[in-house]
Chain A
């Protein structure tokens, strides 16, 4: 079954086609990687999938529902959450609080029950904390649970973003360069984490420059260059694809 079907999606910024006429589909439960040189349109694609940008044209079907052009919080409520290439952490909150924001959709208490601390809200609060703790344990962040985000090292913050996105209970998680700037040990850890996420039945869509990671975890790979699809296939096929090699290393290699 297809979890995500992207058809003819396009994003134009004042005459510049950041993504043009892109089609691909992602099998439910698989790990799908998007690669390409800087400026290839990977993050633009993610921003359209998560609702941050409205596509100029084209359609995005998520489990058969059209989500293109919906607002980000609406898309999140359908079960798509994401992490960010440049960290978008809630700096003044602890790890637990960060992840509890991820659980936002699991709660329903509004501002009045919050102001008056109604019993309903207290019960929900416990419930959310339990959910968040689960996501924190899953990402191996227990030691950092009550530490403020502004006191955490970079590698931990990368994992915290994943935990936060997972806490929403997504069916599709978009990881934007989860291993960017990490050392080998940390990258290995992220690789393991992605495999674990996938084994939980969550579909993973991944943008990454670290080829080792992509080749290990991805079931299928999409290669972009200048906003266009240049190849799609299994990691092995992509590794040996001429166009991909040219895009990365130049024409004469």
Chain B
């Protein structure tokens, strides 16, 4: 069932790209959506599956972006070098700080990850010699790998579609696996998970690492796509936005994270006609969704699908019995 949706969403991205290769919304807003979708799906592995909040996730996105930006601008290195540095650095950093941080729970964990995000953001601003400080870093090279250059909007659309589908695939795989179940177990009852032999601090550290590495990879691509980055894109506010996307879409659901990212990225575009009232509408939609659909906007579809599956299963059982 989840696999069916997977092929459907992959097909949809493909069809959109083939049908509207010159559409502004698809190649600009669409690509922005795909970046946020990857980040939301990566955050959902931590927040949705394992139930551990991170209010500093934008920082890992930033590590990737600056790692690519700095290696491109200052060292004229191959883009792959910057990407690899970012992923490795994010992975090592997240894994090594995970144990002390994830010993904390609830509000305390939120504070600790918030602090982490702030520290990294301040570094981006203060290390001006390398990062360009608050003015940002410009002149980042186009992404070119083995002679193949990604420079047109539609090429970026294809690349990001591929990356998004890959991330969805990883996330679905993780959800239905021994490690994924252990993470979801931690979400519901950490004491029970421990009592059954789950090394919970190790599991949390691992998922944090995977989530950070994916975010960093997205950051690297972001830097090459924009050609310019500034600390504003990786601030505390963006971390909050990512958490909002996951919760708005439906915590714990891969597609929920995708839908949340898509809607919350596209919403400001759709609301521009309200001009000054835009932000008010945006807020009202968030509040309304949370009040009437507390499990997220994707949850009703999930329930419908489960009901359908149960019905089919029942029928099979009945057929087998009769």
Contact = CB atoms under 8 A, between A and B. Distances in A.
A111 interface: yes
Contact of A90 (B184, B195, B199, B310): B184
Interface string B279-322: 00000000000000000000000000010001001000000000
Contacts of B310: 146
Given A101-B193, A104-B198, A89 B206 contact: no
A117 B173 CA distance: 6
B179 A101 contact: no
Interface in B190-227: 191-200, 203, 206-207, 210
A102 interface: yes
A89 B180 contact: no
Contact of A73 (B178, B188, B189, B200): B200
Contacts of B191: 52, 72, 84, 88
Given A101-B193, A104-B198, A115-B210, A93 B184 contact: yes
Contacts of A102: 196
Nearest to A116: B173
Contacts of B178: 100, 104, 107, 109, 114, 121, 124-125, 128
Contact of B179 (A52, A72, A84, A114): A114
Contacts of A73: 194-200
Contact of B196 (A71, A76, A114): A76
Contact of A104 (B170, B182, B188): B182
B256 to A, nearest CB: 13
Contacts of A109: 177-179
A159 interface: no
Contacts of B192: 84, 88-90, 164
A74 B320 CA distance: 43
Given A92-B188, A93-B188, A97-B181, A110 B194 contact: no
A183 B188 CA distance: 27
B117 interface: no
Interface in A23-82: 50-52, 71-73, 76-77, 81-82
A144 to B, nearest CB: 12
Contacts of A110: 179, 206
Which one of A93, A100, A101 has the greatest number of beta carbons of chain B within 10 Å? A101
B187 interface: yes
Contacts of A117: 173, 177
A248 interface: no
A244 interface: no
Nearest to A124: B178
Interface string B112-145: 0000000000000000000000000000000000
Interface in B15-51: none
Contacts of B199: 73
B187 A168 contact: no
B64 interface: no
A144 B200 CA distance: 27
Contact of A92 (B179, B182, B207, B252): B252
B266 interface: no
- Give the interface centre of A51, A52, A77, A110 by most chain B CB atoms within 10 Å: A110
B99 to A, nearest CB: 13
Contacts of B182: 101, 104
B91 to A, nearest CB: 12
A121 B177 CA distance: 8
Given A90-B184, A93-B184, A101-B185, A111 B174 contact: yes
Given A76-B196, A100-B181, A113-B177, 11 more contacts: A72-B194, A73-B195, A77-B197, A84-B195, A90-B193, A104-B178, A104-B198, A114-B173, A117-B177, A128-B178, A164-B192
28 contacts: A52-B191, A72-B194, A73-B198, A73-B199, A76-B194, A76-B195, A76-B197, A81-B195, A81-B196, A84-B191, A88-B191, A88-B195, A90-B184, A90-B185, A92-B252, A93-B185, A97-B181, A101-B181, A109-B179, A111-B207, A113-B177, A114-B177, A117-B177, A121-B177, A121-B178, A124-B178, A125-B177, A125-B178
Q: What 10 A-B pairs come out closest when comparing CB atoms?
A: A114-B177, A76-B197, A88-B192, A72-B194, A105-B197, A88-B189, A90-B188, A114-B179, A117-B173, A111-B206
